[in-house]
Amino acid sequence: MAKKITTVLYICLTIALLAGSAWGIHALRKREAHGLFVVGKAPSFCFTDQHNQPFCDCDFKGKIWVADFFFTSCPTICPVMTTHMVAVQNAFPDNAIGIASFSIDPETDTPEVLQAYAQEKGVHSPHWHLLTGKEEDIYRTANEGFNIYAKAGNTPENFEHSGLFALVDTQGNIVCRKENGKPIFFYDGMTQEGIAMLIEDIRKLMTNDE
């Protein structure tokens, strides 16, 4: 009797694995049909958001989301990046997507500071999380997890970081389009053209997941 149960369980598990694999291949082919390319897996993380609540990558499970790296006292590219991310937020008024903005100056950017910044800049989506945490963990998430450059400094002028936005699909894959047959990997958060591409590709992913 026990042997029969084991056999049945094995068969069920095999069917489930095959079904999952087939669905994954189907989803990947649909992405490719839309001209999207899987770069790799988004990193795992757990930080604290502007509401002083813990927020982890798993909280975006089943959701399309966008990631960037910034800091509130940034005097150069961050204001433009944030304005463009607000445009991404506003392109989906039903709050269908998530956004994770990681502060690379976590010592300064406490939840209270991030909350004030969010209110000032027009962050209203409940799924846009401005994140702070241990500096070493944030920089590991940027440089190793997403492969998006960030470097700490001792003054706002000395911090260095990329203006790139990463797009993550519902399966936790970093995805992008191809230009001239080559993947762009990330989207330019500094240009309207880059933001238009990002919004267009988010809509492609939404169609893909229907």
Return the amino acid letter for 6: T
Return the amino acid letter for 96: A
**Annotation-wise, does 84 bind a ligand?**
no
Paired sense of beta strands 65-70 and 98-103, if any: parallel
**Annotation-wise, does 58 bind a ligand?**
no
Kindly state the tokens that stand for 131.
């994140």
**How far is the C-alpha of 166 from the C-alpha of 67, rounded, in Å?**
5
Phi then psi dihedrals of residue 10, to 5 deg: -60, -45
DSSP E strand boundaries for the chain: 36-41, 46-48, 54-56, 65-70, 98-103, 128-131, 150-151, 160-161, 164-168, 173-179, 182-183, 187-188
**Annotation-wise, does 74 bind a ligand?**
yes
CA angle 19, 26, 210 (to 5 degrees): 100
Q: What residues are designated binding site for Cu cation?
A: 74, 78, 161
Q: What residues are designated binding site?
A: 74, 78, 161
